[in-house]
Chains A and B, each alone.
Chain A
Amino acid sequence: MITTPEDVLARAETLRNRLPSSFRDEIVQSLYAEAERIARRAVKTAGNRQYDLDQRIDRLVTAPVTGLLIMLLLLTVVIWMTVSGANVISDLLFTLLFGFGDWARSLFVAWGVPWWITGFIWDGVYRCLAWVVSVMFPPMAIFFPAFTLLEDLGYLPRVAFNLDWLFKKAGAHGKQSLTMMMGFGCNAAGVISTRVIDSPRERLIAILTNNFVPCNGRFPTLIMLATVFVAAGFGGAAASLVAAGAVVAVVLIGVAFTFLMSWLLSKTVLRGEASAFTLELPPYRRPNVLRILYTSLIDRTIFVLWRAMLTAAPAGAVIWLLANIRFGDASLAVAIAQWLDSFGRLLGLDGAILLAYIIALPANEIVVPTMMMIYTSAGMMVEGPASDDALRALLVDQQGWTLLTAINLMLFSLLHNPCATTIITIFKETRSYKWAAMSVAITLGTAVLVTFLTASLARLAGLQ
């Protein structure tokens, strides 16, 4: 007699119907009872250690009020360390890399290399690379290890625990706080990490809102703008505190938008209830410093920096070409920037900034460098600014930047569309063009709307 798959399935069906309906629970129960019995025989606990250190710490760290305060404090400390430390290294790298560029350029000139080769290599590709390295590397080299340290300690699940009620209110999954935190590192990684969420509805919400937390490609932009503009009037230690405060505020705005958008989605296209889940709070562990340094510096910093450099080099080339191809009486870059300018002004930005965002689509990391390149190579600025003061002077005096420009640029950077890598990742994870397009529409729409509102408000208040 041959047994076919259908025979087996039919037989299983009959047998199952004959069993009492509670049999599944009984199996799970006997499994748990067995596990308990075996564990009791094999495990000996010495003394009564119920109130050990972990629990005492947890009582503080996960309590409603102190939990939130500690979270804010840690975020501020990490960002403050990043801001104040990054400045020093950044200045050093600027001097070093731009000095080398100028020296190499003058060599090329002395050797009589045609101007367009010299320009393409040193004013285009190299300058953009130097910008990316000196703007991005320092904050990453501080932020990533600090973040990895918190991760290794076991702090991240506590954050998830603290934020759970908010996500529940927003109709989203509590594990979304974990995926949100992965987004601080890289939004593409954040999108992949949503696989821990079982429900497809809640997973989509987590994917679509992941971009509202600034990834490490965008942190340097925020830090630079906060340092150069928001903290401009303050001196010494106060300046870095103010700058850190501004970045923390932007991050909190991003988190607020995450909740807002999750709530909107769960009330409209992705309607449904938040599902329950268990989250284990792991024990606090002594971090392994060497491994943290390795993971954060090699796996994360160098990886992100390398990716930025790969996109920065062609971006630099594109900008140089745009700046040196004539279009009417101006260069192509100037022409496009002027064409975009009135729309940019409407958002409190300008045409060069919007052009920079378009060129920097492959990687958000290079927005500021691209923007600077457009300003400099289009003949609007004479040479790469060597310090914060010079940068501020040039942007404010020559480009007419105001505090509003800086703030709106920070908001735009926080809210605008994901980078190309993240968009592709969203497509791969959802297998749907619709949701990938939706993620762009939601974020870009929010960014345009919010910056338009702040710019209009500033104008109404007569600040502009």
Chain B
Amino acid sequence: MTRLTTDNPCAACPAHARLEQMGIKMDRYDRIVALAGNPNTGKSTLFNALTGLKQHTGNWPGKTVTRAEGGYQFNGVKYKLVDLPGAYSLLSTSQDEEVARDFLLFGQPDCTIVVTDATALERNLNLVLQVLEITDKVVVAVNLIDEARRKGIEVDTRTLSRDLGVPAVPIVARSGEGIITLLSTVADVIEGRIITHPRRVEGTPAFQRAVQELTPLIEQMAPGIPNARWLAIRLLEGDARVQRAIRSGELADIVARQRAAEDRLGATAALMGRQ
């Protein structure tokens, strides 16, 4: 990433940023970005705007039932983008919501964009908070701000960012407004130029103690596991899917894969620095 910051410091400014849609050409990519969000908040519209693909979009919840993948290149870095089915929560069991949750947990994206509907922010924040329990690398895209404005709703994204502990970017996916800012924020979060402090819902003191007791055990079992705390919470809640993943050794595989990916990315970064 040295090329972006040292060679040409302006590359990261929105005015100079370059977005290139890559459709499904993703044989080589540097980063994985996931698109999560409640149903019907415009995830597929944003996905199409970024990748140039024509994933079917429509004004009804539940239209995307499988995940779609595409690619885009931003300031010379290639991103693989995964459009997840809309979900109201990560706690339930319907097939489309499980697809979303499994990917966030086991697909290990480098960053997750949670697309929210500015006209119904409160309901959308439930999911945002749940995603923040799983991963710190999150950017909240507050979509449909044009619609909100028409309805006399104003979203203060700075306050929102501060309260959530992760960046919140206002966008209009349909017209492309705010998309460049969103992408550079995503890049900043991935490369560690923005450090996030996600807000975590703590629960009762007894529950917190139980989580604190279980988390180090999971870390001992699978050293380097990135979201041991969330797994501890899920185990305490008796989540069958997570129990299965732990028993079958799937988690150990994920950690190994994650390590390999980091090595590969390290090599890529070094290569780019040499250019």
Do the two chains belong together in a single complex? Answer: yes
B246 touches A294 (CB 8 A): no
Cβ-neighbour of A282 out of B61, B65, B94, B247 (below 8 A):
B61
Chain B residues with CB below 8 A from A12, complex form: 214, 232, 235-236
**Residue B27 lies at the interface, judged by CB distance under 8 Å to chain A:** no
- The answer to whether residues A43 and B153 also contact, given A31-B126, A152-B59 and a CB cut-off of 8 A, is yes
Interchain residue pairs A-B with the least CB separation, the first 8: A198-B94, A39-B122, A35-B125, A46-B152, A12-B235, A196-B62, A195-B65, A42-B160
A19 touches B152 (CB 8 A): no
- The smallest C-beta distance from A35 to any residue of chain B, in angstroms, reads 4
Chain B residues with CB below 8 A from A370, complex form: none
**Residue B19 lies at the interface, judged by CB distance under 8 Å to chain A:** no
- The smallest C-beta distance from A155 to any residue of chain B, in angstroms, reads 8
B151 touches A5 (CB 8 A): no
**Residue A255 lies at the interface, judged by CB distance under 8 Å to chain B:** no
For the complex, what is the distance from the CA of A157 to the CA of B155, rounded to whole Å? 26
Chain A residues with CB below 8 A from B243, complex form: 9
Contact with B along A1-45 (1 / 0, CB 8 A): 111111111011001101110011011101110111011111111
A175 touches B62 (CB 8 A): yes
Point out which of B94, B96, B199, B243 has the most chain A C-beta atoms below 10 A from its C-beta: B94
B154 touches A20 (CB 8 A): no
Contact with A along B176-202 (1 / 0, CB 8 A): 000000000000000000000001011
- The answer to whether residues A285 and B147 also contact, given A8-B217, A19-B236 and a CB cut-off of 8 A, is yes
For the complex, what is the distance from the CA of A38 to the CA of B220, rounded to whole Å? 35
- The answer to whether residues A23 and B207 also contact, given A5-B246, A8-B214 and a CB cut-off of 8 A, is yes
Chain B residues with CB below 8 A from A434, complex form: none
**Residue A99 lies at the interface, judged by CB distance under 8 Å to chain B:** no
For the complex, what is the distance from the CA of A294 to the CA of B48, rounded to whole Å? 13
A5 touches B65 (CB 8 A): no
**Residue B156 lies at the interface, judged by CB distance under 8 Å to chain A:** yes
B60 touches A156 (CB 8 A): yes
**Residue B260 lies at the interface, judged by CB distance under 8 Å to chain A:** no
Chain A residues with CB below 8 A from B126, complex form: 31-32, 35
Point out which of B128, B199, B246 has the most chain A C-beta atoms below 10 A from its C-beta: B246
B154 touches A46 (CB 8 A): yes
A154 touches B60 (CB 8 A): yes
A26 touches B59 (CB 8 A): no
Contact with B along A139-161 (1 / 0, CB 8 A): 00000000010011110110000
- The answer to whether residues A30 and B210 also contact, given A8-B246, A36-B122, A178-B62 and a CB cut-off of 8 A, is no
- The answer to whether residues A23 and B62 also contact, given A42-B160, A196-B96, A299-B54 and a CB cut-off of 8 A, is no
**Residue A338 lies at the interface, judged by CB distance under 8 Å to chain B:** no
**Residue B237 lies at the interface, judged by CB distance under 8 Å to chain A:** yes
A30 touches B203 (CB 8 A): yes
**Residue A295 lies at the interface, judged by CB distance under 8 Å to chain B:** yes
A38 touches B125 (CB 8 A): yes
B163 touches A7 (CB 8 A): no
Chain B residues with CB below 8 A from A45, complex form: 152-154
- The smallest C-beta distance from A445 to any residue of chain B, in angstroms, reads 29
B60 touches A42 (CB 8 A): no
A3 touches B54 (CB 8 A): no
Query: Which A394-444 residues have a C-beta within 8 angstroms of B?
Result: none
A interface residues with partner B (beta carbon < 8 Å): 1-9, 11-12, 15-16, 18-20, 23-24, 26-28, 30-32, 34-36, 38-47, 49, 52, 148, 151-154, 156-157, 175, 178, 192-193, 195-198, 278-280, 282-283, 285, 288, 291, 294-295, 298-299
For the complex, what is the distance from the CA of A278 to the CA of B62, rounded to whole Å? 12
- The answer to whether residues A11 and B206 also contact, given A42-B121, A49-B152 and a CB cut-off of 8 A, is no
Chain A residues with CB below 8 A from B38, complex form: 280
A280 touches B202 (CB 8 A): no
For the complex, what is the distance from the CA of A42 to the CA of B122, rounded to whole Å? 10
Chain A residues with CB below 8 A from B261, complex form: none
Query: Which B138-165 residues have a C-beta within 8 angstroms of A?
Result: 147, 151-157, 159-160, 163-164
Contact with A along B218-246 (1 / 0, CB 8 A): 10110000000000110111100001001
Report 10 cross-chain contacts, Cβ distance below 8 Å, ordered by A residue. A3-B220, A5-B246, A8-B221, A11-B217, A19-B236, A31-B129, A34-B199, A43-B155, A45-B152, A291-B57
B154 touches A38 (CB 8 A): no
- The smallest C-beta distance from B131 to any residue of chain A, in angstroms, reads 12
For the complex, what is the distance from the CA of A47 to the CA of B235, rounded to whole Å? 45
B61 touches A35 (CB 8 A): no
- The smallest C-beta distance from A428 to any residue of chain B, in angstroms, reads 12
For the complex, what is the distance from the CA of A45 to the CA of B149, rounded to whole Å? 9
Query: Which B22-72 residues have a C-beta within 8 angstroms of A?
Result: 38-40, 54, 56-63, 65-66
Closest to B126 in A: A35
Closest to B94 in A: A198
Chain B residues with CB below 8 A from A156, complex form: 58-60
Chain B residues with CB below 8 A from A283, complex form: 119, 147
B157 touches A27 (CB 8 A): no
A44 touches B125 (CB 8 A): no
Chain B residues with CB below 8 A from A291, complex form: 57
B59 touches A280 (CB 8 A): no
Chain A residues with CB below 8 A from B232, complex form: 12
- The answer to whether residues A15 and B246 also contact, given A28-B91, A31-B129, A152-B59 and a CB cut-off of 8 A, is no
Given contacts A3-B217, A34-B199, A152-B59, 7 further A-B contacts (CB under 8 A): A9-B235, A34-B125, A46-B153, A195-B65, A198-B94, A285-B147, A299-B56
Cβ-neighbour of B204 out of A23, A49, A153, A279 (below 8 A):
A23
A18 touches B210 (CB 8 A): yes
Point out which of B153, B201, B238 has the most chain A C-beta atoms below 10 A from its C-beta: B201
A195 touches B95 (CB 8 A): yes
Chain B residues with CB below 8 A from A34, complex form: 125, 129, 199, 201
For the complex, what is the distance from the CA of A154 to the CA of B202, rounded to whole Å? 38
Point out which of A34, A193, A291, A294 has the most chain B C-beta atoms below 10 A from its C-beta: A34
Chain A residues with CB below 8 A from B66, complex form: 195
- The smallest C-beta distance from B67 to any residue of chain A, in angstroms, reads 12
Chain A residues with CB below 8 A from B160, complex form: 38, 41-42
A38 touches B164 (CB 8 A): yes
Closest to A12 in B: B235
- The answer to whether residues A3 and B207 also contact, given A8-B235, A198-B95, A299-B56 and a CB cut-off of 8 A, is no
Cβ-neighbour of B61 out of A4, A36, A157 (below 8 A):
A157
